[in-house]
A and B are shown apart, each in its own frame.
Chain A
């Protein structure tokens, strides 16, 4: 056998995978530092946490990164019998990234053992069982998140959930979107944006949310850097965010709210972080340009759908996981469309129809302020002088809540919980939640209880439904 001849080209790009990953890390560093600032430094300066608490965000990222690296490393040396040279593995497997991303999309108050468990899942279920780098279908960090959020939601929420201790004291609200999910109308600037400051707080990221997903500003900086370095599938975030903007703009306009509404929507729920860093994960996103556009638009549609028509308020990460499934088929269509654009016309028309149709539908549903809530029913109502006493039920988190509501002169006089068996009711009780309803006639001003959002929200809905009935 003669030696195989070298094959060309004999010139190769300088922009190697190593560089791309380096650029990605550079783009992420400000975001990690911001997470440290917002969730560590600020609470520390305000005396809310100890020194450990200050460094917790960094420790959090580091542990997660270490776990995903080490899981893959162990697998490589024990099962695959690869070299033990750590540098080699760092430089060729890029296995720290699922860990970084996983930490960034988890609530700060996730117990460390859950974080470690999730990181291991991200590596094993997200990557290794598919055959390692380049072969996985789903974004590993999202797989990790899906597992732990599904299994440990209660534990994480009991441990403090998304809010850092400074936020608990200052804004004392849930994340903007779970706050939004609690109301049924289109909402107002006062109830949706004001509690967190202004839209600038949203833009710069001083709002509650997962550890590293809140700063749209830093995500945009990272985006520009990565586009300049040719290290990002830029079409996906552009089409994704634009789609969400257009849809929520239509929904807003039809409900007579201003430009703040679509801006609130795109700046909430980690959309920028998800669109720029998670949806563009090269391995799990389409490779052909047209498929990338279609992918981005579908992500936008799904996100809006999740936010407005389901009880899952965030939407971004779930949408990405779902769309991961369709990458292969979209690429197949995208490859054909490169020769003949007609092959995608139908798909694009479907997307436009969905964007428009869904926006109109949601706008319409938000418009009907009086809706019959299927989870609500009135057991009895009787007049006592100028007061009206309601006994009503509302579906809560894990039980049906029964309460007595007394209305006096258009306002709530008192709310008393008669029966319930919700898991997190203790939180509601501790916060003396029901007393907040006294003397109000519009429940949208009431903040839900962090850690028992669904239960407290159900009580809010119950009172709201009673008020609706009362006003007739």
Chain B
């Protein structure tokens, strides 16, 4: 059973793309792809340029974090990030000069080798901008031959229009970047995955796609969670993979990530800004805003006329389905933050499960959530139900007529089977 969600996208699509590019301070959260195991490379008093590396991840993926302004490091502070927890941030005072080193003007996009391409997107701090924040270079840095590039412009969660707004404004740049990536990595073809119903984006891309024979549009059904990597790959390649899309020779990038790669290829620019959707019932003027990484969300909201009056707000980092509630508005923009929702706090009541089976029919990962909930105390039974396949899309909780937070049971089950291993 396909799950159709209400969209709530109209308002932000109709509003012009806003900008908030001059924060007095930026705060670079020491987190990347959920990993906080990061070494800071600057000290208080250091001068940094825009795009300068200020920290680096320690683990397998030694991807750098960069400054999004030029200015002086004034210290370290704790702020909230998209996980809902506080993380240490590098506080940099903006000198408003935006001085950048080694900026190229109009470099030919495909002029570099595959090796330097991988090195470039790594050192420019480019990570997946669709939500998970996986280092982009790692997808290309594979021994396997890449046959297909899929550009994810599905954006299946309600409210979020950041990718679409960006793609509508920069379709030519995006197509140019895709073409260059194909050439550099010797990839045969690219698909831009768009929802069938997203006619404005389809039209915009069709206007320019003619000159790129290797790039095609893949029109996908408007169901949730169509933006899920596995679902897109399955629809387009008609094949499923075990762990990673590269098994099928597929690399899949978010369309905003492609635009960041464009900046790196053309101007040698780092990932320092992104488009974020600000929406939700409590937002006075819901819209998309281009902002610098490290900007406090509070400032941005104030710059777009702020919030409606309410006793209690719920701040959500991300979309309504997969987003994470954060305890206050002290949230900092990270490269993977695509949306900030401010909602009214509502009393939630849970009724007993009537075993209607909707969570089973609605699960895109083919789990049986109600049974996982039933067997939550038996690790042995849980293991047979494979909660680890859950992608936390929230379809089960959404569809539950009794208002039960089904996904939380599956998260718990995931932890339980991990503990006992």
Q: Which residues of A contact B (CB under 8 A)?
A: 2-3, 5-13, 15-17, 19-20, 92, 132-135, 230, 233, 282-289, 292, 331-332, 334-336, 338-339
Contacts and interface: CB of A to CB of B under 8 A. Distances in A.
Nearest to B361: A289
Given A8-B325, A11-B5, A11-B6, A233 B316 contact: no
Given A134-B355, A289-B361, A9 B366 contact: no
30 contacts: A5-B84, A7-B325, A7-B405, A8-B322, A9-B397, A10-B343, A11-B398, A12-B397, A12-B398, A13-B398, A13-B399, A17-B354, A17-B403, A20-B356, A134-B352, A134-B355, A233-B356, A283-B354, A287-B355, A287-B360, A288-B357, A288-B368, A289-B361, A334-B368, A335-B367, A335-B385, A336-B384, A338-B367, A339-B366, A339-B386
Nearest to B393: A9
Contacts of B326: 5
Interface residues of B, number: 47
Contacts of B23: none
A19 B351 CA distance: 13
A135 B320 CA distance: 31
Contacts of A8: 316, 320-325, 394, 397, 407
Given A8-B320, A8-B324, A9-B322, A133 B399 contact: no
Given A11-B398, A288-B360, A132 B352 contact: yes
A335 B360 CA distance: 9
B43 interface: no
A13 B357 contact: no
Nearest to A289: B361
B368 A20 contact: no
Interface in B218-259: none
A43 B290 CA distance: 76
A230 B399 CA distance: 11
B321 A17 contact: no
Contact of B368 (A135, A282, A335): A335
Interface of B: 5-6, 84, 158, 314, 316, 320-327, 341, 343, 345, 351-361, 366-368, 370-371, 384-386, 394, 397-403, 405, 407-408
Contacts of A230: 358
Nearest to A19: B401
Contacts of B6: 11
Nearest to B3: A13
Given A10-B343, A11-B5, A133 B394 contact: no
Given A12-B398, A133-B352, A339-B366, 16 more contacts: A5-B324, A7-B407, A10-B314, A10-B320, A11-B320, A15-B399, A16-B401, A134-B353, A282-B356, A287-B359, A287-B370, A292-B357, A331-B368, A332-B384, A335-B371, A338-B368
Nearest to A131: B352
Given A2-B327, A9-B397, A338-B366, A283 B355 contact: yes
Contact of B371 (A2, A5, A287): A287
Main secondary structure of the interface of A (DSSP, over half): loop
A7 B385 CA distance: 23
B354 A15 contact: no
A17 B402 contact: yes
* 8 cross-chain pairs, A with B, having the tightest CB-CB distances, nearest first: A287-B357, A9-B394, A134-B352, A335-B368, A11-B320, A17-B401, A6-B325, A10-B320
Which of A11, A13, A135, A332 has the most chain B CB atoms closer than 10 A to its own CB? A11
A17 B367 CA distance: 22
B401 A332 contact: no
B371 A332 contact: yes
A288 B385 CA distance: 12
A10 B403 contact: no
A295 to B, nearest CB: 11
Contacts of A332: 371, 384
Contacts of A284: 355
Contact of B401 (A2, A20, A92): A20
A287 B368 contact: yes
Given A2-B327, A5-B84, A282-B355, A11 B321 contact: yes
Contacts of A134: 352-355
A292 B401 CA distance: 19
B403 A16 contact: yes
Contacts of B321: 8-11
Contacts of B327: 2-3, 5
Contacts of A6: 314, 325, 345
Contacts of A287: 355-357, 359-360, 368, 370-371
Contacts of A331: 368, 371
B181 to A, nearest CB: 33
A296 B384 CA distance: 25
A331 B397 CA distance: 20
A8 B398 CA distance: 9
A287 B356 CA distance: 6
